[in-house]
Amino acid sequence: MKLEIIKNGEMECDKGFVTLGRNMGTPIKIPVYCFLVKHEKGNVLIDTGFSKQFETTWGKRLTAFKPILETDIPEYLKDTKIDFIINTHLHLDHADNNEKFPDATIIVQKEELQLAKNPPQYQKFAYADQFQEGNYQVIEGNYDLFGDCKIHIIKTPGHTKGHQSVLLDLGDKKIFIAGDACYTKENLNYSCLPGFFWNADEVMKQYEYIKNLDAEIIFGYQTIAQEQLQSFQKHE
């Protein structure tokens, strides 16, 4: 199984949106990643990132986050057949390109799909105005995609009601793709909430779960060091 980490771009925002209450008023740039996993039973894309049109859609509604596109994900993957998409959740910076992969089966939690179709007022800006139709496979709880424990979807509600993360087994190491279950290591170290969330108690539960995991963590909005990137991607 092979992992490729693709940097979709960055978002410029106030640090207070990432680590609520810490260093508010400090402008920062946070990375947005997508993950291509090539498994013998199919190619899996974990999150589809924000789209080329991001600035005219979400960007207009939410000026607090300024997107800077580096890689147009559908263009980058135009010669790669994507069999499955796993969305950690359906916020625009994780799912904005879903409709560009019409042949993929999109795996989401039942509660996330319900939320995306009818988001609560305080999360409306983070979901697409018009729900992106697609070939959705709805799951409830944890799910081992190919039945071999190599790509294990773990339900991690908190940031949103139907958030999920992915535990990858690369043989000599396990990698936990947290998504927005935990934005950065600082959030974990200081039990610091993200800038917005569905349920604070559930966010904290996921922090405890992540702290006790025997895996290397890829945080939602933390730059992956070059050395770590290489070690994650060297597997065949």
Q: Which residues bind Zn ion (CB under 5 A)?
A: 91, 180
How far does Cα 181 stand from its chain's mean position?
Answer: 9
**Least distance to Zn ion, CB of residue 72, Å:** 20
- Name the token pair of 227: 């050395």
**Least distance to Zn ion, CB of residue 58, Å:** 12
Strand ranges in the chain using DSSP code E only, listed in sequence order: 2-14, 27-39, 42-46, 66-69, 84-86, 105-109, 135-139, 143-144, 151-155, 164-169, 174-179, 216-219
Nearest residue (CB) to Zn ion, 68 versus 83: 68
- Name the token pair of 38: 């090539």
**Least distance to Zn ion, CB of residue 92, Å:** 8
Amino acid at 143: Y
Return the exposure string of 173-189: e unless at least 16 CB atoms fall within 10 Å of the residue's CB, then b.
ebbbbbbbbbbbebbbe
Give me the residue whose beta carbon is nearest to Zn ion. Answer: 91
**Least distance to Zn ion, CB of residue 173, Å:** 26
